[in-house]
Amino acid sequence: MARAETTTDPTAGSPAGTPLTPWIAAAVTFLSSGAVLVMEIVGLRLIAPYVGVTLQTSTAVIGFALAAIALGAWTGGAVADRVDPRRLIAPLMVAGGALVIAVLPLVRFTGSWVDGADAGAVLLLAAVAIVVPAALLSAVPPMVVKLQLSNLDETGAVVGRLSGIGTLGAIAATFVTGFLLIAIFPSSVILVGTGAVTVVAGLVLGLLLRPAAGGRSRVPGALVVLAVLGAALAAVAPTPCEEETAYHCARVEADPERESGRVLMLDTLRHSYVDLADPTHLEFEYVRAIAAVADASFPPSEPVSALHVGGGGLTLPRYLAEVRPGTRSLVLEVDPGVVAIDREQLGLQTSPELRVRVADGRVGLADEPAGERDLVVGDAFGGLSVPWQLTTREALRLVDRALADDGVYAVNLIDNPPLGFVRAELATLREVFEHVVLLARVPILTGEDGGNVIAVASQQPLDTEAIAAAMTDHDLAWRVASGADVDDLVGDADVLTDDHAPVDQLLTPYGRP
């Protein structure tokens, strides 16, 4: 019996076309798939200055990228059965590349109009950053597959090979972007470069395919104009970034009311305030609250050994060095770009007494020798939330291990009513430490308002009266909640563990209403 064969019929009534050269098919599939993953990774950084970096922003970007890939692949395959793919592949690549470039000004202009970081703003910006260009580029691989199918006996091999090549392109883009490109180039350069390479590849492919398509493969000039216009708009689009670090969009602003005052902005937040002339000036209330804990817990002017999980502008380490000469502070800061800004714009001078280690806080805690720290300060944030891996029972056990027997842990938290995250973190602290108190403004404790609070924990009794007096000395109208007040606040809150720490979901507005 003769083997059954069939030829691909790109258009009804048209003869089958010649497949692409294998290396061209592989290159087009690799590039179009890789460009989508570049967009996904850079897209998160692109929207972060406007809505922060939370689990919700990551989820929105990944979700829209997957939706765009599904939409593009499904639509591209369906269209390829009705229209000669050789007429569409090049225009799709040029259009997709042009929109990759145009995404930059679109997100920045849209972001400048967004007010707040609620779910609607997150979804809007993620959609603008991802959906249309990713869908167009995702339509290319099924069209390439269609062109390569000339024999039913080879269908599996062709589909499998090109699917594998597309996946390899996505993997390569993920690793190269995450490990290399972001460390070297700003997000704007990565996006414009990716888009430009895709546009050029599409134009070249259009020239190669035109003879095979009977002269019908033509890239509309409007798409090229769109790419050029997108690049021009990218150059003038408003940006909140003074510098783009490995993790943040950062800038330093001068305080118009204090000549030596500087504010470090990371993404959407006023992260640190540094007085270049007076390290004892503590502008932010929560920093004054932590300073009050240190003042009340240790004899005046006596040096201490302190570990700071989260650096920012290093306001508190500078304060301790000034008021407690001889204090040894180690700061764990995950972002080398923030440390560079501290040195270049905020007057940071490190020494054997004030050291900075670029490392994740959890990793740094695991490396700490046991029982050597008098004070551990937690002030690490990703957007509005403490990174979940620093909130769990297992992480707090590392904090406890690092502390001396009479050591004190003070951690900065942010939440809004009904304080779902704060309640859970207090419950977790009480799993590890014998004594836990909370410092906060009265409206926060009564559920009328939200903002910063300081949780304080130790294995030894905490002198709450001394802490309250020290807060008064620092011009703070905060209250110390302890004992039954903390019991009532914690209620039935769950303990956070490495296995279950839904920090972002507990935070308002993403948590319970």
Output the CA torsion 126→128→130→134 (10° steps). Answer: 160
230 in a domain, yes or no?
yes
pLDDT at 8: 41
Least confident of 69-83, 228-242, 352-366: 228-242
**What average pLDDT does the segment 169-194 reach?**
90
pLDDT at 154 over 90: no
pLDDT in tens, 421-434: 999 999 999 999 99
Mean pLDDT, the chain, as a whole number?
Answer: 88
pLDDT in tens, 23-35: 999 999 999 999 9
Residues 89 and 206 in one domain: yes
For residues 170 and 229, which has the higher predicted lDDT (pLDDT)? 170
448 in a domain, yes or no?
yes
Contacts of 149 (CB under 8 A, 6+ apart): 8, 19, 155, 158
Cα separation, 103 vs 99, whole angstroms: 6
Confidence grade of residue 510 (pLDDT, cut at 50, 70, 90): very low
Q: In the numeric block, which tokens belong to residue 14?
A: 């048209």
pLDDT at 239 over 90: no
Quickly tell me which residue has 């993953």 as its tokens: 37
Q: Which of 240, 265, 284 is where one domain is finished?
A: 240
9 in a domain, yes or no?
no
Beta strands in 32-108 (DSSP E): none
| Cβ atoms of residues 513 and 427 within 8 Å | no
pLDDT at 13 over 80: no
Radius of gyration of the chain (CA): 28
**What average pLDDT does the segment 461-486 reach?**
96
Q: Please, where are the H alpha helices in 139-243?
A: 140-148, 155-176, 182-184, 187-209, 221-236
Residues 316 and 423 in one domain: yes
**What average pLDDT does the segment 362-368 reach?**
95
Residues 305 and 441 in one domain: yes
Residues 83 and 102 in one domain: yes
For residues 446 and 12, which has the higher predicted lDDT (pLDDT)? 446
**What average pLDDT does the segment 459-480 reach?**
97
Confidence grade of residue 156 (pLDDT, cut at 50, 70, 90): confident
Q: Which of 196, 216, 240 is where one domain is finished?
A: 240
**Which candidate, 329, 332, 342, 291, places its Cα nearest to that of 309?**
332
14 in a domain, yes or no?
no
pLDDT at 11: 39
| Cβ atoms of residues 107 and 32 within 8 Å | no
Residues 223 and 309 in one domain: no
6 in a domain, yes or no?
no
Hey, which residues does 296 pair with through a beta bridge? none
pLDDT at 138 over 70: yes
Q: Which of 210, 240, 270 is where one domain is finished?
A: 240
Pairing mode, strands 403-415 and 354-358: unpaired
Residues 325 and 375 in one domain: yes
* Structural domain count, the chain: 2
Least confident of 184-193, 366-375, 444-453: 184-193
For the sheet containing 305-309, what is the strand order? 354-358, 328-333, 305-309, 373-378, 403-415, 451-458, 435-441, 478-481
Residues 76 and 197 in one domain: yes
For residues 117 and 276, which has the higher predicted lDDT (pLDDT)? 276
What DSSP string runs through 8-52? --SSTTPPPPPPPPHHHHHHHHHHHHHHHHHHHHHHHHHHHHHH-
Residues 299 and 151 in one domain: no
pLDDT at 466 over 90: yes
90 in a domain, yes or no?
yes
**Which candidate, 163, 174, 182, places its Cα nearest to that of 38?**
174
pLDDT in tens, 32-58: 999 999 999 998 888 877 877 777 888
pLDDT in tens, 307-357: 999 999 999 999 999 999 999 999 999 999 999 999 999 999 999 999 999
pLDDT at 39: 93
Residues 286 and 181 in one domain: no
Regarding pTM above 0.75, the answer is yes
Cα separation, 332 vs 368, whole angstroms: 11
Residue 76 sits in a domain of what CATH number? 1.20.1250
68 in a domain, yes or no?
yes
Residues 297 and 195 in one domain: no
Residues 193 and 95 in one domain: yes
pLDDT at 115 over 80: no
Residues 192 and 338 in one domain: no
Cα separation, 89 vs 82, whole angstroms: 14
Residue 460 sits in a domain of what CATH number? 3.40.50.150
Residue 86 is part of which domain span? 22-240
2 in a domain, yes or no?
no
